[in-house]
């Protein structure tokens, strides 16, 4: 997806340099601390983060907002819909 300058996450997880499934596990761990409606972004150098986070968001009932190519890394964004995690 293209970059989204209007995306303003409530939480950013910097998982650059961490191999799969590390970025997804960090997302899941931090997600527990978010309120419904919050947006979390994960920065990762592992391209698999795009597929992993999209699948997890769908399975968990949350909203995958997109994946974005940044300079040297990927950003994925998920919005918390479910109240519990």
Q: Name the catalytic one among 12, 20, 28, 39.
A: 20
Angle at which helices 49-60 and 22-31 cross, to 10°: 40
Cβ neighbours of residue 79 closer than 8 Å, sequence gap 6 or more = 37, 38, 39, 62, 63, 65
Q: Are 79 and 63 in contact (CB under 8 A)?
A: yes
Catalytic residue list contains 20: yes
Four-point Cα dihedral 81, 31, 53, 18, nearest 10: 170
**What are the residue numbers of the active site?**
20
């Amino acid at each position: 997806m293209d970059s989204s300058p209007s995306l303003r996450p409530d939480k950013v997880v910097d998982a650059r340099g961490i191999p799969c499934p590390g970025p997804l596990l960090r997302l899941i761990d931090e997600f527990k601390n978010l309120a419904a409606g919050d947006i979390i972004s994960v920065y990762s150098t592992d391209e698999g983060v795009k597929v992993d986070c999209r699948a997890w968001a769908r399975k968990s009932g949350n909203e995958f907002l997109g994946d974005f190519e940044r300079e040297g890394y990927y950003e994925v964004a998920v919005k918390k819909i479910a109240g519990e995690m």
